[in-house]
Amino acid sequence: PLVREMMQEVQQWKQLHPYFESPEQGLTIAAAEQLKDSLPQKAYEQLLHWADGRTSLRRLSRRLQRNLGTLARGLYPYVERGWLHPVITRSPSSSTQTNPSTELDSKKKPHVVCIDDDLSVGKTVESILMKNGYQISLITDPLPGLSLIFELNPDVILCDIAMPRLDGYEICAMLRHSKVFQYIPIMMLTGKEGFIDRIRARMVGATDYLTKPFGEQELLLLIENMSPENKDSLKDELKNFSG
């Protein structure tokens, strides 16, 4: 059944050629007036925000909580008319493009705090980030770790969901009620893939959601998108949550 499902997805992507070739493609707006007249106001505003040539279709589907194939098929008519232009974003798997961890080499990289009671997961995250020049602090017990977070004052927080005594939802909600962490990126790390879990994570103010097991490049790409140069767009998103 899984193979059949995968083959159906492949066939669906083939139908989107030649405009869409990969989920890692992004979009730019070529005809704003036509799009504004053809789309609902909310959909048009979302496109204005995300059609920046850097946000991939895969990431956009996560942000909008939409199926990737459904999203691509919905955008296809506007690409076909020339109102949207697909562009190649920087792919973490491409050897001809820049590693997402290297662009910040000349700048101060974010300080990341990882909250996870599973030491093996924490050590994996630590190894990946340290290897790529990030400062990383591990917290394996979230209850006493809450006060430590304020002392560390991180730029990005990675937080597991399923933990004893204090789960990730509670931690995220607590941090969001503090002015210090109102706009700090918080990414949930979890083995849960359910739609309800994603909705609940967004409701407590999570910036993004990464399902275990995850790859090195996937983690680095998400960390990069939460880095200081993207702070304004992240702040806008979290203002919508807090509002």
Mean pLDDT on 24-30: 85
* Inter-residue contact 35 to 44 (CB < 8 Å): yes
pLDDT over threshold 50, residue 142:
yes
Q: The tokens 């066939």 sit on which residue?
A: 11
Domain layout of the chain by residue ranges: 2-88, 111-242
- Confidence (pTM): 0.53
Share of the chain above pLDDT 70, in %: 84
* Inter-residue contact 145 to 139 (CB < 8 Å): yes
**Selected residue with higher pLDDT from 38 and 235:** 38
User: 150: Cβ–Cβ under 8 A, 6 or more apart, which residues?
Assistant: 178, 180
Size of the chain in residues: 243
pLDDT for position 186: 92
pLDDT for position 116: 92
pLDDT over threshold 50, residue 91:
no
pLDDT (tens digit per residue) in 45-70: 888 888 888 888 888 887 777 777 88
pLDDT over threshold 50, residue 130:
yes
- Whether the bond into 18 is cis, omega within 30 of 0: yes
pLDDT for position 137: 92
pLDDT over threshold 50, residue 84:
yes
Lowest mean pLDDT among 99-108, 160-169, 175-184: 99-108
- Band (pLDDT 50/70/90 cuts) for residue 236 is low
Q: The tokens 């990030």 sit on which residue?
A: 134
Distances (CA, A) of 224 to 81, 101, 173, 241: 33, 7, 23, 22
CATH of domain 111-242: 3.40.50.2300
Lowest mean pLDDT among 106-115, 134-143, 149-158: 106-115
* Inter-residue contact 240 to 202 (CB < 8 Å): no
pLDDT over threshold 60, residue 5:
yes
173: nearest Cα among 142, 204, 198: 204
pLDDT over threshold 80, residue 225:
no
